């Protein structure tokens, strides 16, 4: 009987250890959702960041359920083109991602990034926790105090509601379409500038 009880106890301890290890592993990963212009550009940039495990292009911030790309680019859904970033907090922090976010687009132009114009291209941070909200607001406050930008920051900081994954052909768009005109004319220069300025954040080859 004692031997049986000991076996049960050892199984319990083992299961608790496995659960604890899984929880520790899960806690290493977090999601961030940003909108900062065309998601083809933003996806390409963040996929090069060390610690970023996955980037999903999609739509959020609007009213239309299960929107299509054509609906979003028409500007009638209220959604922004956005990316959901899954990252390893042991390798890159949320603050690090905020630095890259604000350094790779213009957060002072309302509903506009370069030639992309409309609410679907607005600058936005969609937080999934109060900590993310606090960090985003503090970062914006610091940028404002430091007068990093000549104009006021218009980036919205909003609670994440639903993130809709974009159609499959939008995923890994730059990697799959390197010779496409937009990729050559718009994404290439942005990516080259990012790789030069954030060498310390790039994935190891």
Assess whether pLDDT exceeds 90 at residue 9: no
Q: Active-site residue 38, yes or no?
A: yes
Domain of 178 in residue numbering reads as 28-200
Number of compact structural domains in the chain: 1
What is the tens place of the pLDDT at every residue in 61-114? 999 999 999 999 999 999 999 999 999 999 999 999 999 999 999 999 999 999
In a domain, 148, yes or no: yes
Q: Which of 38, 41, 56, 183 is catalytic?
A: 38
* pTM assigned to the model: 0.86
Domain of 32, CATH number, reads 3.30.1060.10
In a domain, 164, yes or no: yes
In a domain, 75, yes or no: yes
Joined together, the tokens standing for residue 81 give 């083109």
In a domain, 184, yes or no: yes
In a domain, 180, yes or no: yes
> What does the pLDDT read at residue 3?
45
In a domain, 9, yes or no: no
What is the tens place of the pLDDT at every residue in 32-45? 999 999 999 999 99
In a domain, 115, yes or no: yes
> What does the pLDDT read at residue 12?
37
Assess whether pLDDT exceeds 60 at residue 19: no
In a domain, 125, yes or no: yes
């Amino acid at each position: 009987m004692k031997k049986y009880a000991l076996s049960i106890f050892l199984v319990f301890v083992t299961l608790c250890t496995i659960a604890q290890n899984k929880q520790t592993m899960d806690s290493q990963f977090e999601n961030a959702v940003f909108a900062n212009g065309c998601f083809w550009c933003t996806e390409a940039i963040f996929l090069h960041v060390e610690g970023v495990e996955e980037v999903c292009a999609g739509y959020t911030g609007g009213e239309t359920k299960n929107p299509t790309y054509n609906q979003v680019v028409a500007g009638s859904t209220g959604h922004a083109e956005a990316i959901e970033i899954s990252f390893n907090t042991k390798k890159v922090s949320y603050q690090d991602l905020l630095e890259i976010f604000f350094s790779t687009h213009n957060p002072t132009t309302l509903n506009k990034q370069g030639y992309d114009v409309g609410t679907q291209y607005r600058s936005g941070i969609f937080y999934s926790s109060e900590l993310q909200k606090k960090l985003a607001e503090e970062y914006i406050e610091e940028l404002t105090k430091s007068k990093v930008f000549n104009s006021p920051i218009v980036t919205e900081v909003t609670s994440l509601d639903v993130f809709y994954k974009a159609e499959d052909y939008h995923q890994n768009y730059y990697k799959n379409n390197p010779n496409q005109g937009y990729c050559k004319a718009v994404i290439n220069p942005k990516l080259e500038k990012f790789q030069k300025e954030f060498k310390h954040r790039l994935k190891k080859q």
